[in-house]
Amino acid sequence: MDYFLQQAMNAFSLGGEYALLALGLAIVFSVMGLVNFAHGELITVGGYAMFFAVLIFGVKNPFLILPVGVLAAILFALLLERVAFRPVRAAPPTTGMLMAFGVSIILQNSALLFVGTRPKAVPTAEWLMFDLNFGSLRIPVVQLLETGITVLAIMLLVVFMRRTTIGMAMRAAAKDFSTVRLMGIRANRVVSTAFAISGLLAGLAAVFIMARRGAVDPFMGFTPVLKAFVAAVVGGFGSLPGAVIGGFALGIAEVALQAALPSSVAGFRDAFIFSAIAVLLLFRPQGILGERPDFGEKT
């Protein structure tokens, strides 16, 4: 029972991480139709920002370091939108996707070029390294926080999307951007807000990834975003609840399979998961919650 609960915690915290990332991707896609391959770099930027905060500014207080990471991710997302994606906003979706792809390669290699190839350590606050004891359960504080913050972030996002004008505008823009403009709402604001939110979510995820890894390197965003993509598509690409479900599903599947598979085939875990995903996508391409686009509708 304890083992089960322990693994459940693992699953939820990992799933939460994937959910945050998948949600960021889904928001940008639903508002702009952009498949943002550069999303992983937001994590890397968050990580490097934290590293530099410690290194250059000698910040020691973790309550300062963490917001730095999140803030850096948000600002960088806005920068990316303004510089790289606004010029191709009117272009077909493939162009935008490939542009994002190119941007991510540039960013990864810029980190290589300008910061260095070696991973840089970012010390995590000691208090985060504790395990909490609930009877016979030992749960790392980080996991609890991760799960908790993910849930909180998602709830706040829901409130934001329902109650604020710009949030409603984003929901409307997912299906009909030009009519949103007819409400007098500036297109740029809607897009920037979407990017800022995706930056926020990526920054939060970055904090937790950093807490686990303890170091930042130029390619750290790659695997998480790969999984996030897959999670978002499984949940229904463009669907926000779908992204959350997809993220948690992937996290649960990974942990469950890792625990269930005999050690001789444990290495094949990702092969099983990805095969299942491929099959799911090919028979239900709209994912779990997505909608099949009718011809003539914006996909």
Partner 1 sequence: MTIKRSVLLGSAVLGLLIAVIGVSAFVFAEPYHQRIVFTFMVNLIIVLGLQVFMGNSDITHFGHIGFMGIAAYAVAILATPVAIKKSALATAPFGLSGIEFPLPVAILGAIVITMVVAFFVGLVMVRQTGVPATIATLAFLVVVHVILLNWVDLTRGPRAFYGIPIKASLLGATAIAVVGVLIARLFRDSHWGVQLRASSEDVAAAAAVGVRMQRLRFAAWMLSAFFLAVAGILFALFVGTISPKSFYFDLTFLTLAMLIIGGMHSVTGAVVGSIVVALGLEVMRFLENGPEIAGVELPQMFGLTGFYLGAVIVLGMAFRSEGIVGPQEIEEWWMRRRQKAKSDATSDEALQP
Partner 2 sequence: MLKASSISVNYGPIKAVRNVNIEVEKGDVVALLGPNGAGKSSLLSSLIGLVPKNSGNVIFDNQEAGRASTEDLIRRGMSVTPEGRRIFGDLTVGENLRLGAAIRKDNDGIAEDIEKFLDLFPILRKRFNSAARYLSGGEQQMLAISRSLMSRPKLLMLDEPSLGLAPRIVDQIFEFLVTLRQWGLTLLIVEQNASEVLEFADRAYVLSTGSIVFSGTANELKKSGGVMEMYLGLEGH
The footprint of partner 1 (CB under 8 A) covers 35, 84, 87-88, 91-92, 94-99, 101-113, 117, 218, 222, 226, 229-230, 233, 237, 265, 267-268, 270-271, 274-275, 277-279, 281-283, 285-287, 295-296, 299
- In the list 137, 187, 256, 280, the residue contacting partner 2 (rule: CB under 8 A) is 187
Report CA-CA distances (Å) from 290 to 203, 212, 253.
Answer: 26, 32, 20
| Euclidean distance between CA atoms 4 and 36, whole angstroms | 36
- 117-141: burial string, b at 16+ Cβ within 10 Å, e else: eebbebebeeebeeeeeeeeeebbe
156 CA to centre of own chain: 16
Give 22 or 142: the residue with its C-beta nearer to partner 1. Answer: 22
Query: Is residue 145 at the binding interface for partner 2, with CB under 8 A as the rule?
Result: no
277 and 230 Cβ atoms separated by less than 8 Å: yes
- The distance of closest approach from Cβ of residue 182 to partner 2 in the complex, given in angstroms and rounded to an integer, is 5
Q: How many residues does the chain have?
A: 299
The CB-side HSE value for 291 (13 A sphere, CA atoms) comes to 12
- The distance of closest approach from Cβ of residue 289 to partner 2 in the complex, given in angstroms and rounded to an integer, is 13
Name which of residues 165 to 184 contact partner 2 (CB under 8 A).
165, 168-169, 171-172, 174-176, 178-184
| Euclidean distance between CA atoms 73 and 201, whole angstroms | 9
138 binds, among partner 2, partner 1, none (CB under 5 to 8 A by kind): none
79 binds, among partner 1, partner 2, none (CB under 5 to 8 A by kind): none
130 binds, among partner 2, partner 1, none (CB under 5 to 8 A by kind): none
**Contact residues for partner 2 (CB under 8 A)?**
165, 168-169, 171-172, 174-176, 178-187
